Structure 1
Amino acid sequence: MADVIAYPALHASHGGIWIATADDCRPVGRGEAIRVAAETPVILLNAPLVGQRLGYAELSGLDLLELFAFLHPARFAVPTPAGLARAVDLSPPERDEDVASFLLEAAAALLAVPDGDWPEREGAFSSAQSLTRMRWPWAPVIGPRLTKPRVDERWLFSRLPEWEEAPPRPAPRTVEIDPAAAEARLAELTGGAAEERPGQRAYAAAATAAFAPRAMRDTPNLVLAEAGTGIGKTLGYLAPASLWSQTAGGAVWISTYTKALQRQLGAETARVYPDPVLRRERVVTRKGRENYLCLLNLEDALQGGFAGRAAVLAHLVARWAAYSVDGDMVGGDLPGWLPTLFRRNGPAALTDRRGECVYAGCPHYRKCFIERAARASAEADIVIANHALVMVNAARGRELTTRPTRYVFDEGHHLFDAADSMFATALTGSETIELRRWVLGPEAGGRGRRRGLQARLSDVASYDEGGARAIADAVQAAQGLASDGWLGRIGEGQPFGPIETLLAAVRGLAYARAEQPGDAGYGLETELAEPTPELIEAAAPAAHALDALLRPLVALGRRLEAVLAEAPDWLDAPARARVEGAIASLGWRAETVAAWLSLLARVGGPVDPDFVDWLAVDRAEGREWDVGLHRHWLDPTRPFAAIVLKPAHGALVTSATLTGGGADVEEGWQVAEARSGAPHLARAPMRFQADSPFDYPAQSEVLIVTDVKRGDVAALANAYARLIVAAGGGTLGLFTAIRRLRAVHGRIADRLAREGLPLHAQHVDPIDTGTLVDIFRDDPAASLLGTDALRDGVDVPGHSLRLVVIEGVPWPKPTVLHAARKLAGGGSAYDDRIVRARLAQAFGRLIRRADDHGAFVLLSAAMPSRLLGAFPPGVPIVRVTLDEAVARVSARLSSDARIGHEEVLPD
């Protein structure tokens, strides 16, 4: 304990700043707090957040979160005083002014961990020695408390288990799932004591149609199912899905849009497989490879590839990797707050974000988290994935023999957006420089291992003359792509090479046509129509340069296929796997370059009605970060249906807001079909709908505030503050613009702190979104401000979320792409459908359980009555002043009593 008391503890919040020592705790000013922190190590909780509140970005010290991550890798704690108190079994501080003293107490409790029964002891001593060399602030304190092991500890790369090859899984058997059997399985999953849910039973029975044998090739059994909140759709589809997988011997892929639902699904599968050992075998969560720790990148970081704070992060991640279930760095068992403690120092470099994997050429291939997940999913009954991964695997996946035949798309209302992103083309500076790095590897002055195309395929080059020539041609052609410093050069009018010249012409035309007087410094875009002579002249050399790269990439892919066919002596199983991986990587990069060429053919050429093309300069707060040409499908469900749905035998697309609200039921179903790809299939989908069992009229109301002037940030901030105080916290505030979110937060955070109401904000607090939601859920007095990422998929049942406030009608942004789809989709009716769907999703955050009560407040006098169908039938909807809204919120949320007698607007 003496080691800890030697240092003071610092706590800073919107309510004040305190410094505690072993003898006392006192409030201090910002200047004194910065001086103390600069002169002596201080104990604190979440240094980036405290530094932001002090206005001292370089604040560092003895961060208790880092110590927790070292002592308890792969464990999560809510990164707040109360959350840490629970994690270390202490009483949480009751007042803000008690937190600094509590930090000393928590530090003592954490430092006592090595003295007891400590399951994560292995590897700690050697890690502490390395961290001492890294000058980690905690190393001198924790190091002496660790005992050197009597025998050498197994280091990470020898501790991790190896995956094993397995024979190909046979094709699923053809079986028919009886709806009554699905209902019986549902009864097993819910338990005999569960409340009666007729809607859930009907849902499970209807979902069996997606698992029926298909009648014709390219004609899947498609079921569209809208299940209102509270129906219990997760267990509703897990019942027939688990029954089919166990009967047919095949895997069901359950796809989501948000990581929050992935985590929730993982927990729900415990009903299907209560035994955790069996569950790990039969249920696998899959994500894109950029989510997983790359062991080769980690080894490079540990051996000197990282320096300073990034090196400390690498060692803490190594501690985590030794205890992680699946190596998932984004939404897995790595605490989401850990990378944010190190700001931008290193997290992205520890994953494979550039597709540079060498597969079997990697010394850690047999222990690779990504490869292990891929092989585990081939043997699993349930694979929990996401929409993007499902589409990527279908379009470019290497796992052709284990391609799913049955899908469940939960959060199905997001399929259109996911397909829009997946099947888009972007010929931009950042995309071309990434391709250049993939081909060339680190160039002059670059750090890291040599992992360019030539280095990855050196053995092929030495064996096959044609392959060697293709590699050399690709390397030479890649020199014509954008290179480091491209953005500065085109800004100065000095582009280098044909691609940079093209980007300079794009930038010039975008500024000429898109920038308006009073532009706020955000992104610019303009249609790719009537291009200037400069752009047309730049397109031809750029196309020639890309064609010069495409040809050797295609030729190399063919040569690699020939090598596989010839099977030389050196082509053992690992080498074959590496060549197969290279073929897959070459294939999708060649597809990318071909798509770029198709986009360039549009410059000065005919319009393709299937696509929307535009030019853009991407900017953030006035700073440019990318320039390029963009192409999206007008209807992205066309490639989705062709690539994902048609090869499948059956798919269930489900959501609580699949039809998007609205009075016309048939129109809603037509929209649901259009946004799921159903019109592109030969067979019409089956429809199912189950309304929510909640009593929305009794549990909620919608208040439309009429006297907050649009554009008046001060009035907007005042409205948020008064409503949050009236609710006593528990408020989710939604914004359509980050700039207004930050402005409102800056005006009300201190004011709410004086009321004892913590305020957290996306795009303000240096904390990842998932952790912000965890903090919000954990504290009923807290409130959270955010954008559309919090409007969809946030599940905070109970008293922690009792008020939703949205700043205005969430109209879609008037982009070039939106304008084209609006024209094709019915004009203003298209906008109305989008807004209703967004409002329905936002309202859906409010009532998550039968005993929830709350209010939904819209700060817009201009809310059209035609959009009110977004809300559940019967919910009271009233137009009120801010004063009246505050009074109603206070009365409803303090007594949970309904307030009646006011005029209710018609739906």
Structure 2
Amino acid sequence: MEVADLLATAVEALGGASRDGQIAMAEAVAQAFTSGRHLAVQAGTGTGKSLAYLVPAIAHALDESRPVVVSTATIALQRQLVDRDLPRLADSLADVLPRRPTFALLKGRGNYLCLNKIHNGSAGSEPDDVPQEELFSPVASSALGRDVQRLTEWSETTATGDRDELKPGVADRSWSQVSVSARECIGVSRCPFGTDCFSERARGRAGDADIVVTNHALLAIDAIGDANVLPEHDLLVVDEAHELVDRVTGVATAELSATSLGVAHRRAARIVAPELAERLEAATATFSAAIFEARPGRIDVLDEELASYLAALRDAAHAARTAVDTAPNDPKTTSARAEAATALSEVGDTASRILDSFVPAIPDRTDVVWLDHIEDARSGSRALLRVAPLSVAGLLRSRLFGHTTAVLTSATLTIGGNFDSMASAWGLTGAADREQDRTGEGAGWRGLDVGSPFDHAKSGILYVAAHLPPPGRDGTGSAEQLDEIAGLIEAADGRTLGLFSSMRAAKAAAEVMRERLATPVLCQGEDTTSALVQRFADDEQTSLFGTLSLWQGVDVPGPSLSLVLIDRIPFPRPDDPLLTARQRAVAARGGNGFMAVAASHAALLLAQGAGRLLRRVDDRGVVAVLDSRMATARYSGFLRASLPPFWATTDGAAVRAALQRLRAPN
């Protein structure tokens, strides 16, 4: 049966309606799987893109007896696929498929309980990832002990050992006492609990499944790491593909901090000779003091003092690591040795990577190094020395897209009106076929925008407050902007999602609006984000202000959301070390670094933020950008081309009148 017929059967069984964009996407995905040509497909909200890629994925997996891997950025979508979409789809196609398809959810090893660590490892002992002063807090110790005891009891009843199935959950600190990373695992052949291992069982289920659902981080680990984590596969679907580069960059980023070095030292001190532990402790103390006192920011030139501290740390970590014997032994000893070896290797390897990154001249470097100072409410000020790849395009091209056929999809992939920026970041665009790729029909990939079932021009208004002064540098709104916010929310009678460029701006605006408005205003950070979103959705007069996670994570259809406020164009911070280094690299090659990096970053976030407005076909409302540069700056056309085709205006009175008309009947 053709994929369009399979899709029609599924849609009818599920009580849905035929959508041209969904059909076009399903046929394009099937063609990509057959031809081996990568596909980038933008599918606006309401298209039903999950069904559009799952139907051809199931058909191909059953025809070829080979699995298809589906990778997403969020736990919510992973759960939706495995718990709802795939079971319903399998039921709907039961009469037309040769057999019922199977599917599995696979996460990183650290998401599962480790039975060896619970029974033979360090669970319940002195935690080595907690600041020393907290070890003597009776409240902290008892809370940690209660969590570990609860997790140990849960290990006897859970069928999966999956952290997400533990309700209520526990803090990361507690979970770390009963889990291991892939590098810390002693291996199924050496582990006395290998046959019962939750992670291995999950991998076993994934190895037998037709559709394997995973996340971008695990996909990156599988692609760029040394071990094969995912089942062998030739076909890949990357949903929420606009997140892929950041997630892969996160996996490829390493850091050194007093906390991580302290963990490595404490683990090593239990195993290696005292002189080696003391050498590592001294190197750790000197290095930690140096980065704590240094000025944060990108480091282009490594001074001799810090270089010598890094070299001493590298050598001390490698010497201690060499002394750790990880050969088969008593299970408890083996587990402790594996954890120590992993921590020491990470310290030594990261120090070496940072030192090596400064060897080439600046234009030839592939890594960026910077120092962060972070204020933590629990542990105070922390200093971290970080190293990240300047670009992951080469990694993705050679390690991922070089041996799989990929379908990359999202509601927002065209930046400035085309796929060029995303394709370049993914490594799909090579210099030789650049001109072909501009048409969306390059030799190795194809770009397709299947549109949206929404009539954006009739359903939404894009309002740019061109009369406002340009936003200031302090991150908070001007008096004129606050007046504008109050007038718009009053016209909408609440029903507003305020998306701000910083938490400081969100809190300041919320404080002022609570004094000026009769309708409730919530602000991110006052409760869990999910709880705040639920309260926002439940009360039509409530407004919710927040920052980045709300730009991409809110799905509130209906009259509770009639106005999306965006306080300023979300350019990256001018001191962002990684993005400014990427801008410089583009400029060094003769390109426009601002447009390629900063403007593209802002365009993607604007598109994500504007996408919060229309979540179903009968939604109506306004996206208000309170940054006059959106109307006056030379790059404004590029930014607007990245947004849905709303009806656009700079007439505030007309927008307020429209919002008043949208009010639900009292």
Q: 1:386 aligns with which of 205, 215, 220?
A: 215
Report the counterpart of residue 265 of structure 1 in structure 2.
Answer: 81
Residue aligning to 1:726: 491
Q: Residue 30 of structure 1 corresponds to which residue in structure 2?
A: none
How far apart, in 1, do the equivalents of 2:227 and 2:450 lie? Answer: 38
Alignment partner, residue 426 of structure 1: 255
1:829 corresponds to: 595
> Cα distance, 1:620 vs. partner?
2.0
| Aligned pair partner of 2:306 in 529, 535, 538 | 535
Say whether the 8 Å CA contact 1:546–1:597 is kept in structure 2. no
Which among 421, 430, 435 is matched to residue 671 of structure 1? 421
Change (3 A) 1:427 1:591: closer
CA distance in 1: counterparts of 2:111 and 2:183, whole angstroms: 12
Question: In 2, Cα distance between the equivalents of 1:333 and 1:878?
Answer: 47
Is contact 1:253-1:408 (8 Å) kept? yes
Question: 1:354·1:438 contact (CA, 8 Å) conserved in 2?
Answer: no
Partner of 2:557: 797
Give 1:679's aligned amino acid. T
Equivalence for 2:11? 190
Matched, 1:806 2:560: no
Report the CA distance shift for 1:262/1:354 in structure 2 as closer, same or farther (over 3 A). Answer: closer
Partners of 2:372 and 2:386 within 8 A in 1: no
2:104 matched residue in structure 1: 284
Match of 1:737 among 491, 494, 502: 502
The CA deviation at 1:280 is 12
- Tell me if structure 1 keeps the 8 A contact 2:524–2:546: yes
Aligned residue identity for 1:183: A
Deviations 1:164-208 (A, max 9, x none): xxxxxxxxxxxxxxxx72222212221165322122111111112
Distance 1:481 1:276 in 2: 61
Give the superposition deviation at 1:387. Answer: 0.4
Amino acid at match of 1:633: P
How far did residue 721 of structure 1 move? 4.9
Match of 1:762 among 514, 517, 524: 524
Specify the alignment match of 2:162 in structure 1. Answer: 328
1:790-829 per-residue CA deviation (whole Å, 9 max, x = no partner) reads 2124333333333211111101112222112112332221
After superposition, residues 647-662 of structure 1 pair within 5 angstroms as 647-648=403-404, 650-660=405-415, 662=416
Q: 1:761 to 1:365 in 2, by over 3 A?
A: farther
State percent identity of aligned pairs: 27
For 1:355 and 1:401, the matched residues in 2 are separated by 15
Q: 2:28 aligns with which of 172, 184, 206?
A: 206
Partner AA of 2:10 in structure 1: L
Aligned to 2:547: 787
> Offset of 1:781 from its aligned partner?
4.0
Question: How many Å separate the matches in 2 of 1:188 and 1:603?
Answer: 58
Cα offset for 1:723?
3.6
Displacement of 1:850: 1.1
Asked whether the 8 Å contact 1:397–1:584 carries over to 2, the reply is no
Hey, what does 1:253 align to over in structure 2?
69
Q: Is the Cα–Cα contact under 8 Å of residues 539 and 560 in structure 2 kept in the other structure?
A: yes
Which of 877, 891, 903 lines up with 2:648 in the alignment? Answer: 877
Structure 2 residue 407 is the aligned partner of structure 1 residue 640? no
Aligned pair partner of 1:412 in 234, 241, 247: 241
Relative to 1, partners in 2 of residues 1:604 and 1:672: Cα closer, same or farther, differing over 3 Å? closer
1:227 matched residue in structure 2: 43
Structure-2 separation of matches of 1:791 and 1:859: 15
Other-structure match for 2:440: none
- 1:597-618 deviations in whole A, cap 9, x for unaligned? 1322445775472424333132
For the residue of structure 1 that corresponds to 2:444, the secondary structure is coil
Contact 1:797 1:852 in 2 (8 A): yes
> How far 1:288 moved relative to its partner?
2.4
SS in 2 for 1:809: coil
- Residue 855 of structure 1 and its aligned partner are, at CA, apart by 1.1
Cα deviation, residue 506, structure 1? 3.6
2:316 and 2:493 map into 1 onto residues whose CA distance is 62
Superposed displacement of residue 722, structure 1:
4.8
Deviations 1:849-891 (A, max 9, x none): 1111121111222323322222223x2222245x665444223
Deviates more, 1:250-259 or 1:620-629: 620-629
2:298 maps to a residue whose letter is: T
**Distance change in 2, residues 1:479/1:609 (3 Å):** farther
Q: Per the alignment, do residues 675 and 301 of structure 1 end up closer, same or farther by CA in structure 2, a change over 3 Å counting?
A: same
Q: Quick one: distance in 1 between partners of 2:522 and 2:156? A: 33
CA distance in structure 2 between the partners assigned to 1:764 and 1:326 by the alignment:
33
CA distance in 2, matches of 1:304, 1:594: 26
2:613 matched residue in structure 1: 846
RMSD, aligned α-carbons: 4.1
Q: Mapping of 1:556-571 within 5 angstroms?
A: 560=327
Does 1:611 pair with 2:366?
Answer: yes
Report how far residue 744 of structure 1 moved.
2.9
Letter in structure 2 aligned against 1:889? L
Q: 2:353, 2:599 → 1: CA distance?
A: 34
CA distance in 2, matches of 1:749, 1:314: 42
Q: Find 1:859's aligned residue among 615, 621, 626.
A: 626
Structure 2: how far apart are the matches of 1:276 and 1:298?
43
Q: For 1:761, give the aligned amino acid.
A: C
- TM-superposed CA distance for 1:276, in Å, is 14
Instruction: Pick which of 392-401 and 271-280 moved more.
Output: 271-280
Partner amino acid, structure 2, of 1:285: L
Aligned-partner SS, 1:693: coil
Structure 1 residues 240 and 587: CA distance shift in structure 2, 3 A: farther
1:293-692 paired onto structure 2 within 5 Å: 293-294=113-114, 308-310=142-144, 326-329=160-163, 332-335=164-167, 338-339=168-169, 346=174, 349=177, 351-352=179-180, 356-358=184-186, 366-396=195-225, 398-399=227-228, 402-440=231-269, 454=271, 472=272, 477=276, 479-481=278-280, 497-508=282-293, 510-511=294-295, 524-529=296-301, 531-549=302-320, 551=322, 560=327, 590=345, 593-602=348-357, 606-607=361-362, 609-620=364-375, 625-648=381-404, 650-660=405-415, 662-663=416-417, 668-679=418-429, 684-692=444-452
Tell me the secondary structure at the aligned position of residue 287 of structure 2: helix
Aligned amino acid, residue 502 of structure 2: A
Letter in 1 for 2:162: D
Q: Report the residue type matching 1:269 in the other structure.
A: L
Q: For the residues of structure 2 that align with 1:681 and 1:750, how far apart are their CA atoms?
A: 56
Q: 1:593/1:280 Cα in 2 relative to 1: closer, same or farther (>3 Å)?
A: farther
- Between the aligned partners of 1:246 and 1:206, the Cα distance in structure 2 is 18
Where 1:272 maps in the other structure, the secondary structure is helix
| More displaced 10-residue stretch of structure 1: 304-313 or 232-241 | 304-313
TM-score (norm 1): 0.60
Gaps spanning 5+ residues in structure 2: where?
128-139, 433-442, 587-591
Secondary structure at the counterpart of residue 374 of structure 2: strand
Amino acid at match of 1:876: W
Q: Per-residue deviation at 1:348? A: 5.4
CA contact (8 A) 2:264 2:340 kept: no
Bigger RCO of structures 1 and 2 (CA < 8 A, at least 6 apart): 2
2-structure distance, mates of 1:634, 1:339: 36
